[in-house]
Amino acid sequence: MSWNPQPIQLPAAPLPILITDDDPVVLKAINQSLRRENYQIVSVTKAEEAIEHMKRSRFCLIIADHQMSSMNGIDLLGRAKEIQPDMIRILLTLQSDVAAAMGAIATGLVFKLIVKPWKDEDLRSNISLAIEAYEKGKHPGSGIVPISSLVVTNRSQLAVMLNKHGLLSAERAQELNRLQVARKEPLIKLLLEQGWITEAEIRNLLREELQVEEVNLSGYSVDPAVASLVPMSFCERQIVVPLKIEGKKFTLAVADPLDLGLIDDLRFVSGLKIQTVVGDIASIQAKIQEVYRSDEVIDFRDLETLLSRIDPYEGIEIVIDDAEEQSIEDLLVGEEPPAIRLVNAIILEAIRLGASDIHVQPRSKSVVVRYRIDGVLQDKISIPPSLLQSIVSRIKIMSELDISERRRPQDGRITVRTAKRVVDLRISSLPTINGEKLVMRLLDRNSKIQSLEGLRFSQTDLAKVMDFVEKPQGIILATGPTGSGKTTTLYALLQHNASPARNYVTIKDPVEYYMDMAGQVLIREKIGLTFPVVLRSILRQDPDVILLGEIRDFETAEVAFHAALTGHVVFSTLHTNSALATLSRLLDLGLKPFVVATALEGIIAQRLVRMICPECKESHPASLLLLPRLGEAVRGKEIAAFKGRGCHHCGNSGYRGRLGIYEVLGPDEEMRHLIASGASILELAKVAKRIGTNTLVEDAIMKVNQGLTTIEEVIRVLGPQN
């Protein structure tokens, strides 16, 4: 009797996987889900650590979280592609970020999305399928390409159904399969090309057998952000058009709902549940042309274009129309508790509209959400009073305030992170007779620093400002009320001619613009980190240029002017109404006149006025009633007035965007002498006029004549100039 021993099956070596997420809870959850799989898992909380691991060791797969503090997941996967091109790349993303993340799939940078929160079995299945594709050489690094050229495994059951009902012979069904293998095109397209059956017969059969939902695409409006997820070339080849995303459900119109290969591939690539509705081929093709030929939709082909243009909040479900009241039921649709969803909707809509402030204002019979857009408050949402306390509590929890304290004002902060931007919100609560009122100031960390030329100074004023920036020492002040653009002006001054040869330091509360070249300090008064304390410390840091957020008191003013006298350039702000009023304010703070006269190099007083919408601007005769209210500035002058008619670009307001009006004062030797000797404002005003200082109203009138703003807007901002 012979014995034939079977070869011993040694266990396969564990597959190395790299997981990166800055939330340790998420890392622990993924490790727990995969604990029984044959994987060698390396978990890190920082993108930089992941890069170091990839440089030292080989991995077959990397999972990166989309939102991380130091580097987002898309950027990390881009580095992963450079270091190990054949490694499979999976992006872990929130539901709200799916739109932005889909663009990375379209470029071939990301192989698969996993949407939070996930089910453990789905996570394991997706990773298993991804590794299987990797082992077959189908990964983007070695064969799989962007969605636009993805070879879909069309597996339509349409021919089988037609054969079963006697509408297609077995021979013709086999011929169709042969053509599909050869040409790799949708079966329904090949079937209609042969002329063996009409589309109407196919529609009737699908309607009777499957009871599929058919839609009239001609009246269907497609969000550009949704359309951009699937490239036009893919839609044309597969006869499909995206319609909408609701939660984790992605709805598309298809010509063949029995094409399981197409549906499965889209589900796998997107990480979303695919819902199909049926449309006839002509309607789908017409809809593709309508959606993708629109100027508003771009076929995203690279990551840079995606991140610079698409915003995940563009697909927000809440659309507020000024013409009609938004129903609260629409706002509360979703899986989250009503208060959470409503607060999210309020914040996201403010970001979408470009609001600078959100007011949640309780009134006697309702709670009104108001947005300050282009400097003007607008009522946008009306909410029942019964929801006020839930909203207030939710916002207080987010900003770590005391929810039990309703009698005293409180201040806090919230940070909202999206794929495109990071927005800080400063929260202020105030008890009123109708309940607590909340105001949230929005500060976009990714706001671009303006150039001096982009601030729209007049040619004369721009020359003066350029001289200010060239000074080797001294203090330059931007003045005006809250929200007049002072910080924007300061950062433009700071960045102009910025050089690595100089040491730049900023002190702000909060930090509104981020500048890599500068060391930026955030004021924290609760721990004693105040403006004077930080400013004194900074003077020991060998600074060349200092940006000081605000001069509030004598102590701050004294240190700032001392720094300006000892060889530093100091930029700062002050709350005054005009350039000359700034001199009185500085003396009122307690500064000695000769210190002000010696250290002060320039004052820029400013306001912001709304710009006429360029899309609907038209010539309009100047009002004879309003002109006299501008005083001496218009006496004897021709005024070429313009006005915005109102269109969908500006929300029918006639205005879109804002620009600055300025009064730029650079004291000469005579004015310095007058300041040091304690001269009156009237004497200083005569010298200012002699050296060519235009007032705010004079600069505003120049911009009215240029067609940039209106007389009504100038009077609204500056008031009557009698």
Higher pLDDT, 598 or 340: 598
Answer for the pair 486, 606: CB distance below 8 angstroms, yes or no: yes
Residues 6 or more apart whose CB falls under 8 angstroms from that of 655 comprise 374, 610, 611, 612, 613, 644, 713
Residue at which a domain ends, from 309, 344, 362: 309
| Predicted local confidence at residue 479, as pLDDT | 94
Is 138 found in the same domain as 163? no
Confidence of residue 139 (pLDDT cuts 50, 70, 90): very low
Does residue 317 fall inside a structural domain?
A: no
- pLDDT above 90: percentage of residues in the chain: 15
| Predicted local confidence at residue 12, as pLDDT | 59
- CA 582 to CA 580: how far, in whole Å? 5
Tokens 């094409």, located at residue: 259
Residue 191: φ, ψ to 5°: -65, -45
Does residue 318 fall inside a structural domain?
A: no
Is 90 exceeded by the pLDDT of residue 357?
yes
Spatial CA neighbour of 63 closest among 14, 143, 118, 13: 118
Does residue 10 fall inside a structural domain?
A: no
Residue at which a domain ends, from 277, 309, 341: 309
Does residue 319 fall inside a structural domain?
A: no
Is 90 exceeded by the pLDDT of residue 476?
yes
| Straight-line distance from the first to the last Cα atom of the chain, in angstroms, rounded to the nearest whole number | 121
Spatial CA neighbour of 633 closest among 697, 693, 692, 690: 697
Higher pLDDT, 307 or 478: 478
Determine the residue type at 215: V
| Predicted local confidence at residue 228, as pLDDT | 65
Confidence of residue 625 (pLDDT cuts 50, 70, 90): confident
Q: What mean pLDDT value characterizes the chain? A: 79
Average pLDDT over residues 687-705: 90
Is 541 found in the same domain as 405? no
Query: Around 25, how many Cα atoms within 13 Å sit in the side-chain half-sphere?
Result: 2
9-13, 39-43, 658-662, range with the lowest pLDDT: 9-13
Size (the chain), residues: 722
Six token digits for residue 437: 């009122």
| Predicted local confidence at residue 670, as pLDDT | 92
Is 90 exceeded by the pLDDT of residue 33?
no
94-98, 319-323, 614-618, 643-647, range with the lowest pLDDT: 319-323
| Predicted local confidence at residue 200, as pLDDT | 83
Other CB atoms within 10 A of residue 279 CB = 26
Residues 6 or more apart whose CB falls under 8 angstroms from that of 643 comprise 612, 617, 618, 620, 654, 710
Look at residue 540 and give its three-state secondary structure.
coil
Is 80 exceeded by the pLDDT of residue 355?
yes
- CA 315 to CA 223: how far, in whole Å? 7
- CA 577 to CA 394: how far, in whole Å? 38
Does residue 594 fall inside a structural domain?
A: yes
Answer for the pair 190, 173: CB distance below 8 angstroms, yes or no: no
Angle at 51 between CA 49 and CA 56, to 5 degrees: 95
Is 375 found in the same domain as 340? yes
Is 565 found in the same domain as 477? yes
Buried b (16+ CB within 10 A) or exposed e, 159-178: bebbbeeeebeeebbebbee
Answer for the pair 531, 507: CB distance below 8 angstroms, yes or no: yes
The enclosing domain of 133 has a CATH number of: 3.40.50.2300
Does residue 8 fall inside a structural domain?
A: no
Six token digits for residue 567: 């060889």
- CA 550 to CA 541: how far, in whole Å? 20
Is 90 exceeded by the pLDDT of residue 343?
no
Six token digits for residue 63: 């999972």
Q: What is the pLDDT of residues 188-235, one digit of tens each?
A: 888 888 888 888 888 888 877 777 778 888 767 777 667 766 777 778
Is 552 found in the same domain as 462? yes
Most confident of 143-147, 486-490, 539-543: 486-490
| Predicted local confidence at residue 108, as pLDDT | 64
127-131, 554-558, 699-703, 715-719, range with the lowest pLDDT: 127-131
Determine the residue type at 172: R
Spatial CA neighbour of 552 closest among 583, 528, 573, 582: 573
- CA 318 to CA 671: how far, in whole Å? 57
121-125, 174-178, 292-296, 465-469, range with the lowest pLDDT: 292-296
Higher pLDDT, 145 or 443: 443
Is 50 exceeded by the pLDDT of residue 85?
yes
How many domains does the chain divide into? 4
Is 80 exceeded by the pLDDT of residue 270?
no
Six token digits for residue 710: 């209106």
Q: 253 forms bridges with which residues in the sheet? A: 241, 277
Q: What is the pLDDT of residues 395-433, one digit of tens each?
A: 888 887 887 788 889 988 887 775 556 788 889 999 999
- CA 540 to CA 174: how far, in whole Å? 84
Residue at which a domain ends, from 120, 145, 170: 145
| Predicted local confidence at residue 477, as pLDDT | 94
Residues 6 or more apart whose CB falls under 8 angstroms from that of 343 comprise 391, 394, 395, 398
5-9, 222-226, 291-295, 468-472, range with the lowest pLDDT: 5-9
Answer for the pair 274, 298: CB distance below 8 angstroms, yes or no: no
Domain housing 703:
453-718
Helices (runs of H) and strands (runs of E) counted in the chain: 27, 23
The enclosing domain of 357 has a CATH number of: 3.30.450.90
Does residue 2 fall inside a structural domain?
A: no
**329 sits in which H/E element:** helix 328-331
Peptide bond into 5 cis (omega under 30): no
Confidence of residue 300 (pLDDT cuts 50, 70, 90): very low
Is 609 found in the same domain as 462? yes
Max alpha carbon distance in the chain (Å)?
124
Is 519 found in the same domain as 595? yes
Answer for the pair 74, 307: CB distance below 8 angstroms, yes or no: yes
Determine the residue type at 124: R
Higher pLDDT, 211 or 387: 387
Is 567 found in the same domain as 437? no
Q: 245 forms bridges with which residues in the sheet? A: 250
- CA 408 to CA 432: how far, in whole Å? 10
Is 222 found in the same domain as 184? yes
Confidence of residue 157 (pLDDT cuts 50, 70, 90): confident
- CA 496 to CA 508: how far, in whole Å? 19
Is 90 exceeded by the pLDDT of residue 34?
no
Is 656 found in the same domain as 616? yes
The enclosing domain of 304 has a CATH number of: 3.30.300.160
Other CB atoms within 10 A of residue 625 CB = 7
Six token digits for residue 347: 């914040």
- CA 315 to CA 331: how far, in whole Å? 14
Determine the residue type at 369: V
Residues 6 or more apart whose CB falls under 8 angstroms from that of 284 comprise 217, 239, 240, 241, 253, 254, 255
Answer for the pair 608, 659: CB distance below 8 angstroms, yes or no: yes
Q: What is the pLDDT of residues 423-467, one digit of tens each?
A: 888 899 999 998 899 999 988 766 777 888 888 899 999 999 999
- pLDDT above 70: percentage of residues in the chain: 83
Is 478 found in the same domain as 504? yes
Q: What is the pLDDT of residues 365-383, one digit of tens each?
A: 888 999 998 888 988 888 8
Secondary structure, 3-state, 216-267:
CHHHCCCCHHHHCCCCHHHHHHHCEEEEEEECCEEEEEECCCCEHHHHHHHH
CA distances from residue 206 to 157, 159, 358, 417, 680 in whole angstroms, order as listed = 11, 12, 50, 45, 89
DSSP letters along 635-655, please?
TT-----EEE---TTTTTSSE
Classify strands 39-44 and 88-94 as parallel, antiparallel or unpaired.
unpaired
Residue 468: φ, ψ to 5°: -55, -45
Is 541 found in the same domain as 574? yes
Is 80 exceeded by the pLDDT of residue 685?
yes
- CA 132 to CA 338: how far, in whole Å? 42
Six token digits for residue 134: 């990797």
- Cα dihedral 128, 132, 138, 140 in deg (nearest 10): 30
Spatial CA neighbour of 389 closest among 333, 445, 434: 434
**124 sits in which H/E element:** helix 120-135
What's the pTM value of the predicted model, to 2 decimals?
0.53
Confidence of residue 5 (pLDDT cuts 50, 70, 90): very low
Does residue 321 fall inside a structural domain?
A: no
Higher pLDDT, 275 or 661: 661
